[in-house]
Amino acid sequence: MSSKAEILAALKSVALPEHPMPKVEIAPRLDDLIGQYEAGLKACGGTLIRDNALAALQSQVDTLIAEGKQVISRVDAVTGNREVPSDPHELKDINYAVIPGQLGVAENGSIWVTEDLAGIRIAPFICENLMLVLKAEDIVANMHQALAKISLDNTGFGVFIAGPSKTADIEQALVIGAHGACTLNVYLV
């Protein structure tokens, strides 16, 4: 008998009584979604740019490029100075990545980013600083709404990103900037 068959056979004698799948019927909190989102993002260490965000982003990117920084942009309106490589290792010197988010979650400040939006899976992690662009109308209240909306069908990878990478593994002291990006700016358009 294969291990699979053995495991499945052993699972025939589960002692728990059969249990139905519950329905999630939690009313979303819909007041001031942007305000909620901003508070959530702040709590996880990110910054929201609301005023004239796209122009602010482009001018910041121009300044960064003039300073010699390496910037990859996946947002149509913003021009970087690096292309998406086929080998992810080539992004090891990327300073800034500009990526469109598909969905923002008000209750926790996270943004859903997919492989096709990022161009390559490693992009939002390997960059020193991450800049996400989010449409205000794409903010949903909570994770139930978010997961009802996203679909993995056409993408091999998706991630909810909530703030810059962080750790508190040394004496519980919070340090921003662990292995992923060290800062996160979200540009609301």
Partner 1 sequence: MSQAQTSVGHAEKADIFCKDEARVDWHSKALWLLRQKRDRAAAAIPEWEELRTLGSEIKLHTLTHLPQYLEQFEANCQKNGIIVHWAKDGQEHNRIVHEILSKHQVKKLVKSKSMLTEECHLNPYLESKGIEVIDTDLGERIIQLNKQPPSHIVVPAIHLKKEEVGELFHNKIGTEKGASDPTYLTRSARAHLREHFLTADAGMTGVNMAIAEDGAIVVCTNEGNADMGCNLPKLTLHSMGIDKLIPNNEAASVLLRTLARNAIGQLITTYSSFYHGPKPGGEMHVIIVDNGRSEMLKDKLLAESLKCIRCGGCMNTCPVYRRSGGYSYNYFIPGPIGIAVGSNQDDTNTIPWACTLCGSCTYVCPTKVPLHNIIAYQRRLKAEAGKLPYGKAGYMPMVGKVMSSPTLLNCAMSVARFSLRYLPGSLLKPFAGAWGKYRELPKAPASSFEAWYKKNRSK
Closest to 189 (Cα-Cα) out of 39, 80, 60, 34? 34
Q: How far is the CB of 29 from partner 1 (least distance, A)?
A: 9
Q: What is the largest CA-CA distance in the chain?
A: 67
- Structure token pair of residue 168: 């508190």
**Distance from C-alpha of 58 to C-alpha of 78, rounded to nearest angstrom:** 6
Q: Name which of residues 89 to 108 contact partner 1 (CB under 8 A).
A: 89, 92, 105, 107-108
Binding string, 3-22, against partner 1, x = CB under 8 A? xx-xxx-xxxxxxxxxxxxx
Helices (H), 97-155: 115-118, 123-126, 143-149
Q: How far is the CB of 158 from partner 1 (least distance, A)?
A: 5
Strand 47-49, strand 183-188: pairing: parallel
Helices (H), 47-126: 53-66, 115-118, 123-126
Q: In the 8-state DSSP scheme, what is residue 45?
A: T
Binding string, 52-91, against partner 1, x = CB under 8 A? ----------------------------------x-xx--
Q: How far is the CB of 68 from partner 1 (least distance, A)?
A: 21
Q: How far is the CB of 116 from partner 1 (least distance, A)?
A: 11
Q: How far is the CB of 120 from partner 1 (least distance, A)?
A: 8
Binding string, 111-150, against partner 1, x = CB under 8 A? ----x----xxx--xx---------------xxx-xxx-x
Q: Which span sits near partner 1 by CB under 8 A: 49-57, 63-71, 74-82, 157-165?
A: 157-165
Count of residues engaged in binding partner 1, rule: CB under 8 A: 72
Residue 139: in which H helix or E strand, if any? Answer: strand 139-140
